[in-house]
Chain A
């Protein structure tokens, strides 16, 4: 069956629908998921199709959405909880970090916590500092929790299906400005992508760009500009911040000897810091230039469009960073 081009929104919706049809232990809960069909319309039609037992609107209370998901998962169900934005997930931080991530270890494997928390991330929609940051990296800090950061419809579907079937808790982070992006996606109800595998999205010999989520879009645009100047970038899409798969990065770096990390995270203690540390640790002798990081600026994200744009990464910033590492 030929792959059909669909949007990330449609891919997420298809993944959820297929997994709910496949396994009756899977249920959805969160604010707006039922009657309204989801803040980003991912669960539109689900209430009619699956009923209010399995599609549950909840009070605006992130702590209990996440905490109850932990309890329901420990009691044998497979909840998919939705939190409107990852910036509101701070209200549920204890349930996610202290419990979802740690229960398995703390109680010596007696309980698995097969839950998925779906949330959106990122700026660019003029929603201000408590709504628009991309702090996925904070959640990737903690062992016990997987963090998914898909950047295409193909990845979104295969990764979400794999997340729902997996026995570990997954924070599944969707970029709020990318839901209409389209790419070919298999219809196969058993189409799964492996958890914790990054993906080479573009081949090139001159520089390795490591990125994820919205960074993929910015990096792809930058690579097209760079190609006009004869610089071929290899783009590695991490897809998961945990498990973090840097093998393709190492392979690429052995060839390019140069690396730029692109992410929407804030600039301190971010993925770029981790990648740079790992590269100098593993491949010190291959380094021809410092590892450069392109990230959001070190401010709470502003509201006004012009200064919000200024604070975020962009293809121009990536082109500039690449030119610095390739040397003129």
Chain B
């Protein structure tokens, strides 16, 4: 275990083509998502918001994946843990705070949908849902649209390993294989479907082992290594863009917090296990790497933390002060075109 952890602390930067500024920006994205997420947990425990579903622990794979896309051009069909992914695509902390408070002006749904159910036409984010894996068939359909139109967009769809038990996952990826679609399916394997451990979810060791049955490429990556995740996703995105079909990418990661604000993870796993995984935390590892490259020192880290804290504070304050949606929002907009008569 000690050796594994030693190895796991490192970052694999083989083949990385990112400049120093981008590396620091990615670090900032990860820290910003983490601190925003932590603040929302506090708001929930204070009784100020109804619900939170967390992305803590997943920041490495999500930021790596987002930076591997052509952001704003490619489509992303995300799932509820993708806070860091969404922020990397252009969602703001204020946008997210408006969502958790259920306030007017929330840009993805006008607070009609639960928080963390990302959708933004502007940012290329399609839809996400509470019943899991429904985004996979939809992403396959969006990828089919890209292919039929002959544009060079790629669709990235994300889900947890728990969602891969759903029929939607199989139907969607089978479709992607049959139709040779420009799709990248990124499974963030955090080894729990709420409380159910991965060995009770599947009888194969890896989600990506299923790729051959769809006739698509498969890859496994350390999801707590932001740069390795970037590399594997970049390769998958380029494979899709160049007409070589879909890839199933499995990122091994961990969720060191409960599934959502409604469960207590102490009932289904040991504290020792959680503490071991925290040592492999994606932000810590990237921080060590950036220090070794001379891009970060104590002062720079403190400066980033302060900048993030301010942004989170401002977002929190603005959202808490914002008005609730007006009652007349209730019935609209169910039907196109504009049914607000």
CB distance from B214 to the nearest CB of A (A): 11
Cα distance A76–B143 in the bound complex, in angstroms: 11
B41 proximal to A (CB < 8 A): no
B112 and A105 within 8 A (CB): yes
CB distance from A64 to the nearest CB of B (A): 4
Cα distance A88–B92 in the bound complex, in angstroms: 42
Cα distance A166–B179 in the bound complex, in angstroms: 27
CB distance from A194 to the nearest CB of B (A): 14
B333 and A105 within 8 A (CB): yes
A58 proximal to B (CB < 8 A): yes
B172 and A64 within 8 A (CB): yes
Cα distance A27–B143 in the bound complex, in angstroms: 14
B108 proximal to A (CB < 8 A): yes
Given contacts A70-B138, A75-B146, A77-B145, are A112 and B336 in contact (CB under 8 A)?
yes
A91 to B, closest residue via Cβ: B167
CB distance from B129 to the nearest CB of A (A): 6
CB distance from B85 to the nearest CB of A (A): 17
A59 and B141 within 8 A (CB): no
CB distance from A311 to the nearest CB of B (A): 31
Cα distance A72–B77 in the bound complex, in angstroms: 12
Q: Which residues of A contact B327 (CB under 8 A)?
A: none
Q: Which residues of A contact B175 (CB under 8 A)?
A: 58-59, 61, 64, 68
A135 proximal to B (CB < 8 A): no
Which bracket fits the contact residues of A? 35 or more
Cα distance A48–B126 in the bound complex, in angstroms: 33
Instruction: Among B117, B137, B175, find the residue whose CB has the most chain A CB atoms closer than 10 A.
Output: B137
Which bracket fits the contact residues of B? 35 or more
0 or 1 for each of B328-341: is its CB under 8 Å from A? (1 = yes):
00001111111000
Partner of B137, one of A68, A79, A110, A167: A68
0 or 1 for each of B54-67: is its CB under 8 Å from A? (1 = yes):
00000000000000
A143 proximal to B (CB < 8 A): yes
B109 and A71 within 8 A (CB): no
Q: Which residues of A contact B121 (CB under 8 A)?
A: 110-111
CB distance from B113 to the nearest CB of A (A): 4
B68 proximal to A (CB < 8 A): no
B187 proximal to A (CB < 8 A): no
Partner of A71, one of B142, B332, B333: B142
B142 and A61 within 8 A (CB): no
Cα distance A144–B146 in the bound complex, in angstroms: 25
A195 to B, closest residue via Cβ: B335
Which of A95-103, A252-260, A288-296 is the contact stretch?
A: A95-103
B333 and A111 within 8 A (CB): no
B144 proximal to A (CB < 8 A): yes
Cα distance A278–B123 in the bound complex, in angstroms: 44
Q: Which residues of A contact B112 (CB under 8 A)?
A: 105-108
Instruction: Among B75, B141, B167, B172, find the residue whose CB has the most chain A CB atoms closer than 10 A.
Output: B141
0 or 1 for each of B134-165: is its CB under 8 Å from A? (1 = yes):
10111111111110110000000000000000
A71 and B145 within 8 A (CB): yes
B146 and A61 within 8 A (CB): no
Instruction: Among A69, A75, A76, A167, find the residue whose CB has the most chain B CB atoms closer than 10 A.
Output: A75
B174 and A61 within 8 A (CB): yes
Given contacts A105-B334, A111-B119, A144-B335, are A98 and B145 in contact (CB under 8 A)?
no
Given contacts A64-B174, A64-B175, A98-B131, are A71 and B138 in contact (CB under 8 A)?
yes
B110 proximal to A (CB < 8 A): yes
B336 and A79 within 8 A (CB): no
A residues lining the B interface (CB < 8 Å): 27, 53-54, 56, 58-59, 61, 63-64, 66-77, 79, 94-95, 98-99, 103-112, 114, 143-144, 166-168
